[in-house]
Chains A and B, each alone.
Chain A
């Protein structure tokens, strides 16, 4: 099987969907001639032309708003936020226009908003944020957070074919770091389904995005210490695969919730409540969280390293949990 980076996998998925459906088009800042800030759409302009690869003014509200309007006319826009941080400028369009459209007047908004999120690239407070929970908390939006190249390709294709607005968060630290074999030809990955990234018996690490890799590294180390950790990759945050979370915790009886996003109001809180509501009797230990602290994402290396959940922090919590 051919190999592809996480970035290349997204590129392939997007490319294949544009080849498949003439209603799919790309809109965003510097996505055309330049090929996108991260080069996800490199070569698209040459292949599909300016009609289907639309370079816009610096105008996130207009990009998302225009995508919504185009979707009402039967097109399937894929909008790019240059960095997920800039999505704040498009908040009104996503949260009030797109998310509520189907519910209030029955009009679907089949748009995808791609957004490179996450830290670990020395981007500082405005190029490193994890904005997922603003949108997980917005009924009507779907939020997808692939961690692997395989899933990134399969999920971008599903997102484009989905009839609801999808926020597709690409972890920018993974773009060129992850390289995998992915099958040639057509496949999709369903939105709303978690996957067991590593089987285990003693505890469950529930996570998503780049933290899946941190969890897998930790699980490897824990295995050497005789602790069998299961890693559950959520893949989609809204709708959340609560059944998969409950099933894993039911099996292991211990839950470690891990995310790069900040702590208060982060997904771990919702996961903990969900576990408590569904499989409380199976728990042998308190539910624990490993998250970023409640601060902006700092720039300088020692600060950013202290901010991001590390393998060491996961190991410490996992050992404590296993012994409890």
Chain B
């Protein structure tokens, strides 16, 4: 707290934002490390595990700008959006472990989670299918005269699917209030960008749809936040959709079973130097926004929070097989 008092008046807001960003990015990192490196290996998480290691700045920077009633469509590498929206870490662990306290009560796994009370719509596995749904949600917000918007994340791989093009086109034609966020992490499973698309940037696709687009450093959380702030102002002022392409790198395999042998090691080395958490910490130290002890105690608090959340999830019951056929229809 001592450092905060020493921060010049003009920088207090940015310093406070930096602290928030650091908290959510670090919480996401710690949770995903536990999921991928502990729970999965212990056999406590079954099926797929997809993490956003190295990409935490994108969901954090964008979701912190969103208003509470903006509707979010996060991808599988955007856990911070859930945390910022008030999903408890315990609920997320329980989701991964197929427990009753998970967001889908064991009906679906991993990042396939959502809750309309938190205004979050979950992905399906063909990720681009979310794009037309987000367009429709945005059209509905406009229909109702709301000032709220939809925010939809996807990877560069999604932009190859027809659904992506259909959703992007419809939203543009309708001038629907939706902010598109591309996590361009340069690999879709094992497929590198050059085999995914023939243009250099996802943002290059914007003009074909009359869609304003920009590129931002996806590993700089404050830059992402600032770009999203400006973009949301644009979208909220009834100007139609906007696309931000966040350049980043997937610091892991596609999923926990994938050792990413196809990624040249030097790429991991290069991108680890741009780690969004380390970068923010360095910036905070350089600007005088935080003392080293403050950052240490933040990480210690996160460890404790995550331990408690895990204990909660492990204590959560598994679903009762007798409920297997419940809830397919309203009256069933």
Contacts and interface: CB of A to CB of B under 8 A. Distances in A.
Interface of A: 25, 51, 54, 56-57, 59, 61-75, 77, 92-93, 96-97, 100, 102-108, 139-140, 142, 162-164, 239
Interface stretch (B23-31, B135-143, B185-193, B245-253): B135-143
A68 B114 contact: no
A239 B332 CA distance: 11
Contact of B132 (A66, A74, A107, A163): A66
A283 B112 CA distance: 48
Contacts of A59: 132, 166, 169-170
A73 B137 contact: yes
From B131, B137, B174, B327, name the one whose CB has the most chain A CB atoms within 10 angstroms: B137
Nearest to A58: B166
A105 B141 CA distance: 22
Interface string B105-141: 0011000111110000110111001111111111111
Q: Which of A57, A64, A77, A105 has the most chain B CB atoms inside 10 A of its CB?
A: A105
Interface residues of B, number: 43
A289 to B, nearest CB: 28
Given A69-B121, A105-B103, A140-B329, 12 more contacts: A54-B139, A54-B174, A62-B166, A69-B150, A70-B143, A71-B136, A73-B144, A74-B144, A77-B136, A96-B129, A103-B107, A107-B121
A68 B163 CA distance: 14
A105 B122 CA distance: 8
24 contacts: A54-B139, A56-B173, A59-B166, A59-B169, A59-B170, A61-B167, A62-B167, A62-B169, A63-B170, A65-B132, A65-B133, A68-B132, A68-B133, A71-B136, A96-B125, A97-B133, A102-B330, A103-B107, A104-B107, A105-B108, A105-B122, A106-B327, A107-B116, A164-B329
Contacts of B169: 57, 59, 62
A70 B137 contact: yes
B329 A61 contact: no
A25 B142 CA distance: 13
A103 B324 CA distance: 10
A25 B139 CA distance: 12
Nearest to B114: A105
A278 B310 CA distance: 49
A67 B166 contact: no
Nearest to B132: A65
A51 B141 CA distance: 12
Contacts of B136: 65-71, 77
B132 to A, nearest CB: 3
Contacts of B125: 96
B194 to A, nearest CB: 27
A104 B108 contact: yes
B124 A100 contact: yes
Nearest to B150: A69
Contact of B328 (A68, A92, A103): A103
Contact of B137 (A25, A69, A108): A69
A63 B174 CA distance: 12
Nearest to A162: B330
Across the A-B interface, give the 4 residue pairs with the lowest CB-CB distance, nearest first: A65-B132, A69-B136, A66-B136, A73-B140
A104 B104 contact: yes
Contacts of B114: 105, 107
B71 interface: yes
Interface in B147-179: 150, 162-163, 166-167, 169-170, 173-174
A106 B102 CA distance: 12
A57 B170 contact: yes
Nearest to B152: A69
B170 A66 contact: yes
Most chain B beta-carbon neighbours within 10 Å: one of A62, A63, A64, A93: A62
A103 B327 contact: yes
B134 to A, nearest CB: 6
A57 B172 CA distance: 11
A102 B166 contact: no
Contacts of A100: 124
A64 B108 CA distance: 22
Interface in B59-83: 71
A82 to B, nearest CB: 15
Interface in B216-239: none
Given A65-B129, A92-B129, A104 B112 contact: yes
Contact of B330 (A25, A56, A71, A163): A163
A226 to B, nearest CB: 43
A142 B331 CA distance: 12
A162 B329 CA distance: 10
B123 to A, nearest CB: 9
